[in-house]
Amino acid sequence: MGWAGVAWRDAEYELAVVDGASVSGRTFGGGEIGQLVEALHGCAGVVVDSTSGVLDGHLTAAGLAVFRADPWLLPDRPSFGSAAALALARRGAAGDLPRLTVASGALVGRHEEYASQVARCGPVERELAGRFLARGAVPGTAALTFDDGPDPRFTPQVLDILREHGVRASFFCVGINATAHPDLVARIAAEGHLVGNHTWSHPYLPDLTRDELLRQVDATNAALSTATGGAGDLVRPPYGGRTPDVLRWLAGHGMTTVLWDVDAGDWAAPGVATIADRVTGAVGDGSVVLLHDGGGDRTQTVAALPGILRTLLDRAYTFVTVDHYRSR
Ligand code: ZN
């Protein structure tokens, strides 16, 4: 089996495989990531673009050889989809793309660009104070946040643990997942947690046009509204990837950007003890903690969570949802 490209379009995934002169393809529903991963076993490599972060953690966790092709290497995208699967597969066969692993994450090869764009955002973040937050100012409280779900395997386990400990949290959901699993989004909201917008397909926002950004945000708000009866105005940019323009656009669109001050780094599966230590070692008054209930194998996050909750409850923290940290 040759090179595979995986695309997203609306609420579906498209697979194309190029093997010498032969080309084949198949379509999967947004809830069929497991079947998609099965279909990829045996391929030489699988290529995604920088708008498809919803997928790469699942692909690397399955042990596949995963590569990212950036926009300047690809034909134009539709305004609500990634580059075409066939173009991705052909670009993979041509070689010389950065390889993604569980430990490297999706932005391998672009970390310097990421850091310089984030560094330029400081003044805008202060200017947008009412539409931007990374930490609260309420003594004795902390806010746990779970990104990249809902995921049918891990989100219910996280919800069960939170319920056992009487803890409320915030879930930044990916739209394509929310559309595939509206029952899970409804359960998150029904159990008193906050549901926020984590875009439709988990793109690196600095790569998007304004029109793409609009559709990523609005389609996700619509999916969350369908599942819960109403979407809030909180959005978390994938990877925290941002530019001054992106932050101003989100604020102008009525959205409040929520980042974090404590990063568990659980997406890289560094070990249960490391995840727990990073959180309990860094949490302070008003901390916003970044964890993940979807986007890959979250076994370690689920295993670390009870210990994190016990430790912080023993320190008399009250857990709040991130909307408690809006500036008033
Ligand atoms: Zn994310």
- pLDDT tens for each residue of 213-258: 999 999 999 999 999 998 899 999 999 999 999 999 999 999 999 9
pLDDT at residue 327, rounded to an integer: 76
Evaluate the CA torsion angle 66, 84, 69, 224 in order and state its sign. negative
For residue 233, give its domain range.
113-325
Question: Distance from the CA of 325 to the center of ligand 1, in angstroms?
Answer: 20
Do 78 and 130 fall within a single domain? no
Pick the catalytic residue from 58, 292, 293, 297.
292
Closest CA to 147 of 60, 235, 230, 88: 235
Do 202 and 238 fall within a single domain? yes
Reply yes or no on whether 96 is catalytic.
no
CATH at 245: 3.20.20.370
Pick the catalytic residue from 147, 261, 266, 297.
147
Do 89 and 187 fall within a single domain? no
Do 98 and 7 fall within a single domain? yes
Reply yes or no on whether 292 is catalytic.
yes
* pLDDT lower than 50: segments of the chain: none
Instruction: Among 55, 85, 109, identify where a domain stops.
Output: 109
Do 123 and 63 fall within a single domain? no
Integer distance in angstroms from the first to the last C-alpha of the chain? 57
Do 89 and 120 fall within a single domain? no
pLDDT at residue 1, rounded to an integer: 82
Do 135 and 86 fall within a single domain? no
pLDDT at residue 271, rounded to an integer: 98
Question: Distance from the CA of 171 to the center of ligand 1, in angstroms?
Answer: 11
Number of domains, the chain: 2
Question: Distance from the CA of 35 to the center of ligand 1, in angstroms?
Answer: 22
pLDDT at residue 57, rounded to an integer: 97
CATH at 42: 3.30.420
Do 152 and 268 fall within a single domain? yes
Give tens-digit pLDDT for 168-206: 999 999 999 999 999 999 999 999 999 999 999 999 999
DSSP strand E in the chain: where?
A: 3-9, 12-19, 22-29, 45-49, 66-69, 99-100, 132-133, 141-147, 170-173, 194-197, 234-235, 256-258, 262-263, 287-292, 318-319
Task: Kindly state the tokens that stand for 235.
Answer: 């959005």
Tokens 């925290």 -> residue: 240
Give tens-digit pLDDT for 267-278: 999 999 999 999
Residue 23: what are its φ and ψ, rounded to 5°?
Answer: -130, 130
Question: Distance from the CA of 266 to the center of ligand 1, in angstroms?
Answer: 11
From the centroid of its chain, how far is CA 173?
A: 7
Instruction: Among 90, 109, 128, identify where a domain stops.
Output: 109
Number of H helices, E strands in the chain: 12, 15
